[in-house]
Amino acid sequence: MTIRSLRLRLLMAASLAILLALTAAGFGLVLLFERHVERRIGAELDIYIAQIASRARFDDAGVARIEGGLADPRFGKVYSGLYWQVVSEKTGQYLRSRSLWDTRLALPEDKPQAGVIEMHDIAGPRGASLLTHERRLAFDTPAGEQILRIAVAIDRADILALRSAFAFDVLRALALLAGVLIAAGWIQVTVGLSPLQAVRRGVAAIRDGKSARLQVEVPSEIAPLIEEVNSLLDDQDKAMQRARDRAADLAHGFKTPLTALLADAKRLRDKGHRDIAGDIARTASLMRAHIDRELTRSRIRNIKASALIEVAPIVQGLIATLKRIPQGERASFAVDIEDGLAVRIERDDLNDVLGNLLENAMRHARTQVRVRAAREGALIRFCVEDDGPGIAAEKRKLVTGRGQRFDSAGLGAGLGLAIVADVLDHYGQTLELGRSKLGGLKASFALAN
């Protein structure tokens, strides 16, 4: 399974590296401790050898004995784990500590160099593994020179017990250290990835129309990415501008033929061909409406920053324009918008949304059109209502249904509501249709302020 989180990947990699390093450190510390303990115990064994050698005495026949006991009481306890043994190479005499009882240390057959301490690992009583130090020393006796092999051994179980206790202490300390280092790694990863959060917020600001380009302070490693994104946005703006220019040229190219077609329809109507003239006029009007809708779509697809636009002047200007046409003269417009209320949207987009809704309400109203705008949390809620026939509830669901075409719904709303829906969708909002208290259609939507 692929881990998609970069933060989790980095943390897992850091944690794995920390655990591997601390594991290696733990084994190394235990090994060093064991070697230190062996050296320390080996030094004690060498001291015991020196003590035994200093207590060696010989009679006239050259028989050796060890006068006095050694300080460590373990030498006097049977199978205690600490043993000494003395062997005369000349007479074959064996001397040993009480702890050996009736056993002997199985020293190697080879003879070490005189005066040099040799170390062995040998089997001891009850199958124990013994760390043994051995030294050959020459003594002048009444019976001539004698060489004694003095050996002192200790059970490795004692060393293993010390190592196990140390390893347990090290494990607890390293576990605590691992937790601290992993927490530090998490902080490091979070701090290291924080510039990406700034980039994300910058991209969100561009998407929401609050900024035109990425303008964030980032480390030098991420700066080339910011430059590439801004360059891509520049290219996109240029491409969109060219597309809008081509769409505008296409619209202007159609405008003259459509005007001529409407003029021909008027002449046919004057000659008495009213049915044919009406069909031509409706077709030309529908074509003009489609062109207007596609021009709006081509404009709103361009992602760019949106400034705060004051609502009241836009509404007053649209109403003043609508009152100049015959249908607007018979309608009464009621406006309820507080001064200073502003939304974050392109001015042309706000004109398209409110203009189409007001025009649609004016065409269907009997006498009254009402437009309101008020704060609703972090948004501004708009309502445009009329006292016309309205739209039945089942047909409103068809109109507002996802994927439906407003112009093909057969509701007499034309393409105006379709254009409104396209613009609002660009800003992440939807058009809501309902029944007005005036009796007609209530169209509402919200925009960020």
**What dihedral do alpha carbons 353, 359, 363, 369 form, nearest 10°?**
90
What average pLDDT score do residues 58-62 get? 86
The residue with tokens 């959060």 is: 197
148 neighbors 88 (Cβ within 8 angstroms): yes
User: Who has greater pLDDT, 174 or 331?
Assistant: 174
H/E stretch holding 81? none
3-state secondary structure of 136: strand
The residue with tokens 């200790």 is: 154
pLDDT at residue number 301: 54
When mean pLDDT is compared across 40-49, 66-75, 254-263, the lowest value belongs to 254-263
402 DSSP 8-state letter: T
Structure-token pair, residue 353: 């949304």
Closest CA to 117 of 34, 52, 69, 32: 52
pLDDT at residue number 311: 94
Angle at the Cα of 177 from the Cα atoms of 173 and 180, rounded to 5 degrees? 145
- For 256-271, the pLDDT digits (tens) are 777 777 777 778 888 8
pLDDT at 356 over 80: yes
What average pLDDT score do residues 58-72 get? 85
pLDDT at 125 over 80: yes
pLDDT at 328 over 80: no
Integer Cα distance of 134 and 151 in angstroms: 4
3-state secondary structure of 250: helix
**Other Cβ atoms closer than 10 A to 21:** 13
Integer Cα distance of 417 and 363 in angstroms: 13
What is the DSSP track for 272-334?
T-HHHHHHHHHHHHHHHHHHHHHHHHHHHTS-----EEEHHHHHHHHHHHHTTSHHHHT-EEE
- Going by their DSSP bridges, the two strands 432-435 and 332-337 should be labelled as unpaired
* Pairs from 116-120 (Cβ < 8 Å, separation ≥ 24): 117/46, 117/49, 119/42
Structure-token pair, residue 344: 């974050």
Structure-token pair, residue 350: 């706000």
Integer Cα distance of 376 and 445 in angstroms: 11
Secondary structure of the chain: what % helix, strand, coil (to 5)? 55, 20, 25
pLDDT at residue number 249: 72
**Other Cβ atoms closer than 10 A to 132:** 22
Q: How confident is the model at residue 122 (pLDDT cuts 50, 70, 90)?
A: very high
Integer Cα distance of 395 and 384 in angstroms: 18
Q: How many helices (DSSP H) and strands (DSSP E) are in the chain? A: 9, 14
pLDDT at residue number 419: 79
User: Which of 272-276, 282-286, 382-386 has the highest mean predicted lDDT (pLDDT)?
Assistant: 382-386
Closest CA to 13 of 222, 182, 177: 182
H/E stretch holding 240? helix 223-270
What is the DSSP track for 184-195?
HHHHHHHHHHHH
Beta bridge partners of 384: 371, 443
Integer Cα distance of 146 and 53 in angstroms: 12
57 neighbors 67 (Cβ within 8 angstroms): yes
371 neighbors 358 (Cβ within 8 angstroms): yes
